């Protein structure tokens, strides 16, 4: 008996899966076969997706909300589509794009060709949009730096006893590690403070 699965992916902890899960329920995916995965943007290791791929059999259907849930870039989306539809011989339904529904077994060659073209265009557009977003972010940061905006954590204020402890260190009465302990900071932080003071003078 064929099975229908829903795959929900959130790329950050801040994102919530509700919107995707609601779409799965409305489409008719059983609650027990909705797979939810939360991964970081930097690490695309997807254990839930890999387990899902081991479960899916010929004749099953995988439902996703949007095409970018399949992969993080153009090449990976197309590769996953090929594996599912050609190697596993399962169907894919993209809720946001009705044209991308391979359950229609009676589609002629023209229909299949159009579906493949639509998939490639959408995957390419999704990748280009991510690239444009990164470019706009980089340009925004560069413009802000030109205006004098500082990025990164605000440096800590030196403790009141810093000058005294630094003088003890410079006289050889304290090691750098001992000086750092007295100030309640790490060894590298103490040395960085000493360097900053030298630069100011």
**Catalytic member of 2, 11, 66, 123:** 11
Say if CB 33 and CB 4 are below 8 A apart: yes
Task: Please state at what angle helix 74-82 crosses helix 109-146, rounded to 10 degrees.
Answer: 150
Gap between the Cα atoms of 88 and 73, Å rounded: 21
Gap between the Cα atoms of 102 and 58, Å rounded: 13
Q: Is 11 a catalytic residue?
A: yes
187: left (phi over 0), alpha (psi -120 to 50) or beta: alpha
Active-site residues, by number, are: 11
């Amino acid at each position: 008996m064929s099975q229908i699965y829903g795959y929900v992916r959130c790329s950050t902890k801040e994102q919530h899966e509700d919107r995707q899960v609601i779409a799965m329920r409305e489409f008719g995916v059983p609650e027990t076969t909705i797979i939810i995965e939360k991964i970081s943007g930097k690490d695309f290791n997807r254990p839930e997706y890999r387990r899902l791929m081991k479960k899916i059999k010929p004749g099953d259907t995988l439902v996703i909300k949007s095409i970018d849930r399949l992969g993080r870039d153009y090449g990976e989306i197309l590769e996953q589509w090929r594996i599912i539809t050609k190697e596993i011989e399962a169907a894919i339904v993209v809720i946001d794009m009705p044209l991308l529904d391979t359950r229609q077994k009676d589609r002629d060659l023209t229909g299949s060709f159009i579906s493949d073209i639509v998939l490639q265009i959408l995957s390419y557009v999704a990748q280009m949009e991510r690239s444009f977003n990164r470019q706009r972010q980089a340009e925004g940061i560069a413009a802000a730096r030109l205006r004098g905006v500082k990025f990164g954590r605000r440096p800590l204020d030196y403790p009141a006893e810093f000058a005294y402890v630094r003088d003890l260190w410079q006289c050889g009465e304290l090691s750098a590690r001992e000086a750092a302990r007295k100030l309640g900071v790490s060894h590298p932080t103490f040395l960085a403070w000493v360097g900053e003071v030298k630069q100011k003078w």
